[in-house]
Homo-oligomer: A and B are copies of this chain.
């Protein structure tokens, strides 16, 4: 292969939910890059463990800080500011040496993925391929066996970091909703669902398709603890006919 950036969607966590194309990219790429929190192995890297080519060069891109704050907050912008520039430069050094670089991305690369920060910096200058992946939300509703949207349903994807009033308004205005970035926002999300009259339909899903996965009607879930990457699903298609 020659210099080439490949955004590789690794899906929601179950290694069997890798696509054939993602597996081929892992077998062929000379460098595999992946984002991770400091001191942790990222979910995408864990997902592909059984598909790493022996001897492949790994490039670990370690976030300088937690990302569990809204990305529009000044504290986040200040902390993360130079990181994506440095990460893009590290990837580009391999491209300049003529290597193909696969960048792992949980779920789908261009759907809220960190890969996007490399893509916008490097795609204007280098050959790029993006391999779509199964999103975490698809993994969630499939595991819960929850028909999410049908026919003329409007579906809205909402960050749980939105203000409670805005969450309630948007939940009430959509047939189906997916709430991401749950974590510490769970109590506010629960109140917004109640205000929109949708609490009884909501399903909580944690670590969809992974080994320690768990799903339950939100009404039966306590507010005590929820990982940042858990989801709340509100199905549409009330008629179900």
Contacts and interface: CB of A to CB of B under 8 A. Distances in A.
A154 B156 contact: yes
6 contacts: A11-B19, A17-B20, A72-B152, A130-B145, A131-B142, A132-B134
Interface in A96-120: 108-112, 116-117, 119-120
Given A20-B23, A132-B141, A135-B138, 17 more contacts: A12-B132, A17-B131, A19-B19, A72-B152, A110-B142, A110-B146, A111-B141, A112-B149, A112-B150, A119-B147, A120-B240, A123-B145, A128-B145, A133-B134, A152-B161, A153-B159, A154-B156
Which of the listed residues A123, A138, A149 has the most CB atoms from chain B within 10 Å of its own CB?
A: A138
Given A152-B161, A170-B154, A110 B147 contact: yes
Interface of A: 7, 9, 11-12, 14-21, 23-24, 70-72, 84, 108-112, 116-117, 119-120, 123, 128, 130-135, 138-139, 141-143, 145-159, 161-162, 170, 174, 209, 237, 240-241
